[in-house]
Every structure is written in C-alpha cells, then in structure tokens.
Amino acid sequence: MDVIPAPLFRLFVLVSRAGKVGENMVTMQKVRQANRTWFGNGNKKFFGDVSYQIVYSVSGKSYLARNTYAWSGMFNDKKLHWRLNPINDVLKIEPLIDDVFSDLDAVESWLEEN
C-alpha cells in the first residue's frame, strides 16, 4: 500500500469533509471553462501569476489559490506568495480575499479554519 504524502492527505481530508467529490467537485478544468479570459497568457503575465490550484475550506467553499508575484515588487523586492479568490456556485472567480499567504501550508491552515 502506498503512503499518501502529508500535504496531499490534508487536502484529501478537506475535500472529503467539504463533500466535494465526484461530479460535484470543482475542478481546474471547469473553472477554466467558466472563466476563459482569466487564464490567458496576457492576464497571467499582467498579474504575475505563476500557478493555480483549486482548494476547499472545511465549510465546502471552493477557492482559486494563486501562487503569484502580484502586488509585490514596488521597491524591487518581488516576493512569491499565495492569494485566494473565492469561486461562486456558477464557477465564476470572485475578488481576492484580503489575506496574503507565505506558502501553501499557510493556505491550508486558513482553509481548516474557514
């Protein structure tokens, strides 16, 4: 039997608690289809985004986690960080939440509390 790495196991637990499995699960593919212009190269470059993930809070809310340089580097000190955009029931990406996260562990901790 293979062992699931701790970060993936925590994500699996959050997804399972949220009841987001099977057809009801929000996937990156579904979010991309609902927000075609969001993921274009120009938009990605403008905002300084490096990568995206779909994550879930314990309450079942879906978020787009963005690993990004956005809103940093005003004084040549660009820092990679994580930001969260809620995803609504019709898979549209909503405005950023106020919190800024240093790494994915900080994102997971926030998700466990919300």
pLDDT in tens, 68-91: 987 555 556 678 899 999 999 999
Cα dihedral angle (105, 76, 40, 88), rounded to 10 degrees?
A: 40
Q: What is the pLDDT of residues 20-48, one digit of tens each?
A: 555 678 899 999 999 988 888 888 888 88
**pTM, 2 dp:** 0.77
- Give, in order, the Cα–Cα distances in Å from 20 to each of 26, 87, 92: 7, 13, 17
Length of the chain: 114
Rounded Cα gap, residues 81 and 58, in angstroms: 22
